[in-house]
């Protein structure tokens, strides 16, 4: 028993370095939606980058905060200037693992992403469901989850609290291609 675990462990370690196969996405998109009593706010960021190591399941993505596009220019300014403070915290990142992902399987796979989401300088462990599909040389991934602004120290203004919901729904979509260095 001891030996098996040791070998499996070593195998994993070696496997993750020797046959590491990485996929990159530089046109990922993240959309968030805030559904409040006065107005719905929606913003899309299509400059999200991501790397996925299909051998180890390690998955990271990076979101340049100033690239969120809103319908209203002023909202965009306030989002960056007052809420997520993008000059101080220019990027949101996720680093973690895809659980339940098999590089051999075909078709859509239900997976979970487990790891650290860092927004506004605050790191939180998250565990969210998503799907992933590997076809030929492409890999598509998407996930949908809810974050609470409070948990990331994003203050809602006292006067405008009716305009901004406590929770926002986040949708993440990536299309990957093999990454060669």
Partner 1 sequence: MKSSFFCLCLILPLSVLAQEDLLKELEQSSEPPTEYVRQTFKSTRLVNSQTVESKGKGELEFIFAHRFGLINDGLYELFGLDQAFVRIGLEYGLNDRWGVGFGRNSVDKTMDIYTRYKILRQSTGQRNMPVTVSAFVNTAIRTSPRNQDLVEPLNFEDRVSYTAQLLIARKFTNNLSLQLMPVLVHKNTVDRVLENNDQLALGVGGRYKITRSVALTSEYYYRFDVPDENPYYDAFGVGVDIETGGHVFQLVLSNTRGLTERAVITETSGDLGNGDLHFGFNVTRTFQLKKQK
- Nearer CB in complex with partner 1: 129/157: 157
Which 29-68 positions form the footprint of partner 1 (CB under 8 A)? 47, 49-51, 53, 56, 58-62, 64, 66
Choose, by CB under 8 A, the member of 96, 111, 130, 165 that binds partner 1. 96
Give least dist CB 105 to partner 1, A: 21
- For residues 127 and 56, what is the distance between their CA atoms, to the nearest angstrom? 17
| Alpha carbon of residue 47 to chain centroid | 12
Choose, by CB under 8 A, the member of 74, 104, 107, 125 that binds partner 1. 74
126 binds partner 1 (CB under 8 A): no
Q: How many CA atoms lie within 13 A of 16 on its CB side?
A: 12
157 phi, psi to nearest 5 deg:
-70, 150
| Alpha carbon of residue 39 to chain centroid | 25
61 and 69 Cβ atoms separated by less than 8 Å: no
79 and 68 Cβ atoms separated by less than 8 Å: yes
Q: What residue ranges bind partner 1 (CB under 8 A)? A: 1-2, 5-6, 9-10, 12-13, 16, 22, 24, 26, 47, 49-51, 53, 56, 58-62, 64, 66, 69-74, 76-78, 80-82, 85, 87-88, 90, 93, 95-97, 115, 157, 159-160, 163, 179
């Amino acid at each position: 028993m001891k030996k098996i675990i040791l070998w499996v462990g070593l195998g994993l370690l070696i496997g993750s370095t020797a046959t590491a196969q990485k996929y990159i996405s530089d046109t990922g998109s993240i959309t968030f939606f805030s559904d409040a009593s006065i107005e719905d706010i929606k913003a899309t960021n299509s400059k999200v980058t991501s790397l996925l190591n299909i051998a180890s399941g390690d998955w990271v993505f990076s979101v340049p905060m100033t690239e969120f596009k809103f319908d209203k220019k002023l909202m965009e300014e306030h989002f960056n200037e007052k809420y997520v403070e993008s000059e101080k915290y220019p990027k949101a990142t996720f680093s973690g693992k895809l659980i339940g992902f098999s590089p051999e399987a075909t078709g859509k796979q239900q997976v979970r992403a487990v790891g650290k989401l860092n927004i506004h300088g605050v790191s939180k462990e998250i565990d969210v469901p998503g799907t992933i599909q590997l076809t030929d040389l492409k890999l598509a991934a998407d996930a949908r989850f809810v974050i609470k602004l409070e948990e990331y120290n994003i203050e809602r203004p006292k006067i405008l609290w009716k305009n901004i919901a406590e929770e926002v729904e986040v949708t993440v979509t990536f299309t990957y291609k093999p990454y060669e260095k």
